[in-house]
Each structure stands twice: as C-alpha cells, then as structure tokens.
Amino acid sequence: MSIRLGYQIPNFTYPDVPADRLFDTVAAQAREAEGAGFDTVLVMDHFYQLPGIGAPENNMMEAYTTLGALASATSTIRLSTLVSGNTYRNPALLAKTVTTLDVVSKGRAILGIGAGWFEREHHDYGFEFGTFGQRFERLEEALTIISPMLRGEPASLDGKWYTARGAMNNPRLRPTIPIMLGGSGERKTFRLAARFADHMNIICDVDVLAHKVAVLRQRCEEIGRDPATLATSYLAMGLVGETEQEVKELAGLVPEDRRSRAFIGTPDQVAEQLQERVLGAGIDGITINMVPNGHRPGMVAALGAALSPLVSA
C-alpha cells in the first residue's frame, strides 16, 4: 500500500458556509480530489482546531464519522486519518472502527495512527495524556492488539496499558487493512513503523527530510526488513494561488514556525518545488493540504492536475 498523492482536509471553517452545509463542502473537496488524480483523502483526528491553522473553537469534525460519510459520497478514493490519536480510543475498538469503515467503503480504508500530542484536547475531554514515553508505550501495546485484528486474527494482550482477551473483528473484506504511522521520531516512531506499518507519513521540516528517510531505512534494516516494503509520504502545507497576486497574499499567512513545511505558488510552481525538495529527498509520495482555499471549487482539481504527473507510475 502506497499513498502516492493524498489530499488532507484539516480545515472545516469556511466563509459563508453554515453548519448544515459544512459536510457538503467537505464532500465536494473529496469528490474533486477523486477526479483529479489523488488516491487518498485524509482528515485530522482532533476535537479542536490546531494552533497555526485556527482558533481552538473553530469547527472540527470527528474523524471517523466524517470518513464514514465520505465513503458514501465517493467511490474510489481511499480514506484515512492523518493520523488517529491512539490515546483517544481503546485499540480494539479502533481496529473495529477502521474495519467497519473498510466494509462501508468497499475496501478503501487505511488505518493512520500516532501516539497523540495535543495536550489541551486530552485535558478538556478527560483523556489521560501522560508523559511522552508513556504515550509511546501505549502506542506499541495498541499496535500489538490492532495488527492481528486487522488480519482477522484474535488479539490477546495483558499489558501495562491495555488488555485484550481473544478480541475478534468481523466482518472484514480484505486479508488485512494497511497501517500508516505518522510522525518523525527517529528512535520511537520509526522503530514502530519498521515493526508494524505498511506506510510511514513523515511530518518534518523539509530541510531534514532526506536525513529522516535515511534513518527510517536504517530502522528497517536493523530488524531485517527490506526498506522498500515500507512506503513513505510527506505532509506538505500547500499555499496555492491561481494568480501571482493571490500567491503573494497567501505567503503572508504562513506562521514563521511553519515556513519550512510550506510550499507557496501557483499549482505548477508548487509541483516544481515538491518534485525537487520532497520527491528528490527519496520520498515515495506526497500528501498536501490547502488550508486557506481548498474549499474553493476548482482548486483541488487544479493542484491535482499539476501534481499527478509527478507520482504516476
């Protein structure tokens, strides 16, 4: 399983779009991506909007309800979170949830998962946050339960954080559902990806991307895994304008701490930057969002037309 060209929808606050038309706008983006050469649509698994994108009180739709609805609004594009916060759900329940999404979508689900990081959500919603190390202990135990369940095997674990006693997972459509980890941690995330994942979405400053790819390959080799069997993609922030004037205006919206992950320009200019700086670093595929204007009809299609030739087989 490889995400060659993914479209992430992280923003649900659109000018002049009331709540009763909000999902229609999300679905329109997904259908436009489907028709424009994107192979996967991804949503964030958060309850509040993230710093750098908007205010916490801005709209944020629950991930799996949204993906389930998108399964009926689309027909071929794959569906995933980027990524599910492990701390938000019991792992056996998460395996059941993504497997049901796979059945509903007729085999288009991907399980995206990470350790979780947004402390305020945990505090406000009453989820235990714990330490950095504890969250990765929990993620490893969760994957120990989830992986066999996605293969249709009963899962059992008497762990420090989670317990499963022969947990079964039916109905299923496929021999397994792909697992994608998201992050950039070289010691913990990459080691778990080498052990459990089919795909690694790397989220980091583009200047260190080639180094991250090299370390990920090393983690595979350390356990005797062929690095070529672990597909990779990179999450890019797209500031894509139709005109040079719009590009100039969008450039002013990028927070200083996000500039090294932002790609700014017309669709063709962004495609050129991604080819040189991302695919040139050894990454297999690209996932991109368009926070300011991805909801505008035609924007996703224009970007897809520019990017598809870069990742076509």
Q: Is the pLDDT of residue 255 over 80?
A: no
Q: What is the CATH number of the domain that holds 277?
A: 3.20.20.30
Q: What is the mean pLDDT of residues 116-120?
A: 96
Q: Is 101 exposed, middle or buried (0-12, 13-18, 19+ CB in 10 A)?
A: buried
Residue 258 has pLDDT above 90, yes or no: no
pTM of whole model > 0.85? yes
| Position 81 in a domain | yes
Three-state SS for 3? coil
Q: Is 133 domain-assigned? A: no
Percent of the chain surpassing pLDDT 90 = 94
Q: Is the peptide bond before 267 cis (omega within 30 degrees of 0)?
A: no
Confidence of residue 67 (pLDDT cuts 50, 70, 90): very high
Alpha-helical runs (H) found in the chain: 22-35, 63-73, 91-104, 119-125, 132-150, 189-196, 209-222, 244-251, 267-277, 299-311
Q: What is the mean pLDDT of residues 69-89?
A: 98
Report yes or no on 152 lying in a domain. no
CA 52/CA 11 separation, integer angstroms? 11
Q: Which domain holds residue 26?
A: 5-120+170-311
Per the structure, the count of domains in the chain is 1
Q: What is the pLDDT of residue 45?
A: 98
13 falls within a domain: yes
Residue 301 within any structural domain of the chain:
yes
